[in-house]
Structure 1
Amino acid sequence: MSIADTLFQLAPSPGLLLLIVTAIALVESLALVGLLVPGVVLMTAAASLAGHQAMSLYPLLVAAFLGAMLGDGLSFLLGYTQRERVTTLWPLSRHPEWLARGARFFQRHGALSVLLGRFVGPVRPVVPLIAGMMRMSPRTFAWANLVSAILWAPAYVLPGYLLGRTWQKLLAVPEELEPWLIGLGGLVVVLAVVFSWVRHQMTREGGVYRRLAWLSRRSPMGRRLWRLLAPAHVDEPPLASWLLLIVSLGAFSAWTLVVIHHDGPLAMDTQLAGLLQTVTRPGLVAVGQALARAGDLLGVLALVLPWAIWLLWRRQLAVVRHLGAGLLGIALLNTLFKSAIGRVRPDTPAYLADSFSYPSAHTSTAVVLFGMAATFVSRELPPGRRSLAYWAAIAVILPMALSRLVIGVHWLSDLVGGTLLGLVVCALVQLAWQRHPRPSLRPCPWHVLGVASLVLVAARIIWFAPV
């Protein structure tokens, strides 16, 4: 049974799916709750299931329209009738800046804010609430709500619906690879959820943080350790960074011992390598070769060069030092572990004749480069959008790592070791960065720098041989 057939069997009935779409649209537009729900992801998933079942598009659009109308209407009613109590309700009581941001948006755009706000993520569920608190005319709000819902429903439903209609073609992969793809997808989702949960627990609002802070105050040694771990300019230690260092270092050490103990490829390595040899296509190998060139020394230099020049021009020397230290550190560690362990590659091209397999240098370097970039970028984003930087980093790192399997120069366990080693270096660089207060990187012409990096990487892929 294919993945598409499995998803079809697990999908709810058309009637239930319409109710789910209505509920997602309602909750995503609802004040308070909508701030915490990933509505775009849920709506895309539900619309994709509807498209895969070849459901009629019009009932789906009507369901999304009704849910969006009802959600904004209830939010407006809440603000209109509970004006004095809104600021005491969770989560707005913990995040008053959300209301302040919505109020500024409403004051700037007036009645149009209800129409525009539905498409602006940070203020989407708050604007109708603000409109009610500001005593906006119910008739004016009703018209704005109607028009915005008519525009919103197709904008949010159509991409997922069209994706669902093409699932069968997109998921037409050999059956032997389906368990690996399902496992990889599940692992990425689980790790992302765990990472988000742990990251929240390590903030001042998290339960783990509060318990550790309480324990540290119970003894003089605990207070000294708390102050030792904390940077000089703040009172709290960066627990998330320390936890990342401890977990990744422990996991890398344990995984390396497993690799050394087997003295050769693991069972999962040989099984996956055999499958890839039977199903790999020329186009996929060409993509893997291109990613291999993008991730080698010349490719990394091409990626970093425009940003390094801009940072030097802006006198952001601390960023350049930390970025350079991270890349140099991972290069030295890769060389050290490859020489010490001496694991043979599954296939050794001429340009890799003097290089061993474990850990994957491409993977570890990508984790360090894009992990550090995500860290720097996330500092410039609002708290609710910082996870987007890390998701973008994962979207780049994952195909670059998997390309090493496609072209046959690494085992799967090499990629695992490279990822863990890269996380160790990321944690060390982040801890060093957090020791002192840092200025903002804004304003940054990231569009121009991004295009420049892509042009240089494309030139490197086309004109230079792999190194």
Structure 2
Amino acid sequence: MSLTQTLLQLAPSPELLLLIVGAIALLESLALVGLLLPGVILITAAASLAGHQDMAVTSLLLAAFGGAVLGDGLSFTLGYTQRERVTRLWPLSRHPEWLARGARFFQRYGSLSVFFGRFVGPVRPVIPLIAGMLHMSPRAFLWANLASAALWAPAYVLPGYLLGQTWQQLLTIPAGLEALLVTLAAIVVALAVAFSWLRHQVSRSGRAYRMLARGARRHPLLRRTWLKRSGHGEFPLASWLLLIFSLGGLSGLTIAVIRQRGPFPIDLQVNAFFDVLVVPMLPEAGQLLARVGDIIGILALVLPWGIWLLARRHLAALAHVAAGLGGIAVLNILGKALIGRPRPDTPDYLAGSLAYPSAHASSAVVLYGLAAAFVAQELPPQRRFWAYWLAIALTLPMAMSRLIIGVHWLTDLIGGGLLGLVVCALVRLAWQHRPHAPLSPCPWPWLTVASLVLLSARVALLPAI
């Protein structure tokens, strides 16, 4: 059975799929709801399924267009008729800065803000609401709504639709692995969305954090611990939960790997998939990432930032990052030696090296995870999720490259990722133990360029190790 046939079995009917696309477009544009919905991911996935079903693209674009127009129209009507009550509605009652940011955008661009705001993620669901609250002319709003939706619909729908149309032509999928591939992709997306949502919930502005804080204050022992740990700001609830869950997952997986004494069935299936996968330039990309993610590549990336931290006397931050990277290197060596799991394939430059856990995966998690955490603490709470999404986007290709070049099993990557999360949590708990001076301002464009120049030199001049 082909991948297309598998997806056709899993996908809803064409009529229901059109309704889903319209509903996602509506909710993505709807005030309050659109602030919390990962609309881009959902509409891309739905459009991809439509492409697999070879649905008429015109119908799909009309569904997205109609949903977007209706969503903005409802938001405008809500602001126009409920101007005094809007600020008391959740989540705006908890996050008045969202309205303030949208109001500044509206004041800057005037009537054109409705058109431009459709394409600016942080203010997209708020601008129509503000336009209504400020009693913008309904006729002017309607024209801006229609024009922006006419451009927004193809911009958001067509990439996913084209992906669905061309996926089968670009990939040679071995029989029997289509359902596994779809399931793994869905799990990755679901975990990424869940991580982003949970991270917000356990931050100081999140509902879960506030509920736990109220519960802790009712018990004397918990109250003393909570107040002591949050005396300089925020109780590190996210870091503690990350440590507990990642350590539990790592322990369970490691025990299973030791008892298995070989690859799991899913390891063999995924390895077989990548063995016969035919995508132009994919093996070369895997070898490139092998150089980027080894110890020399990591040193090339962090060296400019380390020099800047040293020059600015941010010695605590430098020590914590160094401890994280050094600690993960030691744990990788110990884990490989103690567990002794062979690789599926061992090229000459990896002779004598073992598989579990994946050092590339764990090091990438520590490097980009700590970078995201330190960047996020300098950002306003409503923008912090971007740092973590960027870290996820950088880490996943590094982990996948180990499967592409065939030097790791899938469970090696999962174990490496969990080990990296454990180290990230420990470093963050140590950092949050006492207050520190802010790390900003930081000349991050220049430091990024310096890192990329050093990394390019490493890739061009030195072999993988």
TM-score (norm 1): 0.89
Please report how far the alpha carbon of residue 89 of structure 1 lies from its aligned counterpart in structure 2 after TM superposition.
Answer: 1.6
Q: Which moved more, 1:51-60 or 1:111-120?
A: 51-60
The answer to whether 1:434 aligns with 2:432 is: yes
User: Is the CA contact (8 Å cut-off) linking 1:119 and 1:152 kept in structure 2?
Assistant: yes
Structure 2 distance, partners of 1:46, 1:345, is 37
User: Is the CA contact (8 Å cut-off) linking 2:118 and 2:124 kept in structure 1?
Assistant: yes
Alignment of 1:129-208 (within 5 A): 129-204=129-204, 208=208
| Amino acid in structure 2 at the alignment position of 1:5 | Q
Structure 2 distance, partners of 1:18, 1:277, is 33
1:265 corresponds to: 262
Structure 2 distance, partners of 1:466, 1:315, is 33
User: Is the CA contact (8 Å cut-off) linking 2:271 and 2:403 kept in structure 1?
Assistant: no
Structure 2 distance, partners of 1:114, 1:210, is 35
Q: Which moved more, 1:418-427 or 1:397-406?
A: 397-406
The answer to whether 1:88 aligns with 2:85 is: no
User: Is the CA contact (8 Å cut-off) linking 1:268 and 1:412 kept in structure 2?
Assistant: no
2:372 corresponds to: 374
The answer to whether 1:25 aligns with 2:25 is: yes
Please report how far the alpha carbon of residue 83 of structure 1 lies from its aligned counterpart in structure 2 after TM superposition.
Answer: 1.2
Please report how far the alpha carbon of residue 441 of structure 1 lies from its aligned counterpart in structure 2 after TM superposition.
Answer: 4.3
Structure 1 distance, partners of 2:138, 2:277, is 61
Compared CA separation, residues 14 and 204, structure 1 to 2 (3 A): same
Structure 1 distance, partners of 2:163, 2:342, is 41
Q: Which moved more, 1:424-433 or 1:297-306?
A: 297-306
- Tell me how many residue pairs correspond in the alignment: 464
Compared CA separation, residues 206 and 119, structure 1 to 2 (3 A): closer
Q: Identify unmatched segments of 5+ residues in structure 1.
A: none
Please report how far the alpha carbon of residue 327 of structure 1 lies from its aligned counterpart in structure 2 after TM superposition.
Answer: 0.4
Identical-residue share of aligned pairs (%)? 66
Compared CA separation, residues 434 and 165, structure 1 to 2 (3 A): same
| Amino acid in structure 2 at the alignment position of 1:414 | D
- Equivalent residue in structure 1 for 2:351, among 339, 343, 353: 353
Structure 1 distance, partners of 2:38, 2:273, is 35
Deviations 1:170-228, CA, capped at 9 Å, x for gaps: 44322254354234223323433443453344234656444533443343222233245
User: Is the CA contact (8 Å cut-off) linking 1:273 and 1:408 kept in structure 2?
Assistant: no
Q: Which moved more, 1:448-457 or 1:87-96?
A: 448-457
Structure 2 distance, partners of 1:411, 1:385, is 35
Q: Identify unmatched segments of 5+ residues in structure 2.
A: none
Alignment of 1:248-327 (within 5 A): 248-262=246-260, 264-268=261-265, 271-272=268-269, 275=272, 278-279=275-276, 284-327=282-325
Deviations 1:259-287, CA, capped at 9 Å, x for gaps: 3344x324337634862685266954433
Compared CA separation, residues 276 and 224, structure 1 to 2 (3 A): same
Structure 1 distance, partners of 2:333, 2:89, is 55
The answer to whether 1:397 aligns with 2:415 is: no
Structure 2 distance, partners of 1:9, 1:177, is 15
User: Is the CA contact (8 Å cut-off) linking 2:69 and 2:149 kept in structure 1?
Assistant: yes
User: Is the CA contact (8 Å cut-off) linking 2:172 and 2:276 kept in structure 1?
Assistant: no
The answer to whether 1:421 aligns with 2:419 is: yes
Q: Which moved more, 1:139-148 or 1:432-441?
A: 432-441
Q: Which moved more, 1:112-121 or 1:196-205?
A: 196-205
Q: Which moved more, 1:298-307 or 1:51-60?
A: 51-60
The alignment yields a C-alpha RMSD, in angstroms, of 2.8
Deviations 1:231-252, CA, capped at 9 Å, x for gaps: 4412x52111011112222332
Compared CA separation, residues 177 and 237, structure 1 to 2 (3 A): same
Please report how far the alpha carbon of residue 367 of structure 1 lies from its aligned counterpart in structure 2 after TM superposition.
Answer: 1.2
1:121 corresponds to: 121
TM-score (norm 2): 0.89
| Secondary structure of residue in 1 paired with 2:374 | helix
Compared CA separation, residues 328 and 55, structure 1 to 2 (3 A): same
Compared CA separation, residues 147 and 344, structure 1 to 2 (3 A): closer
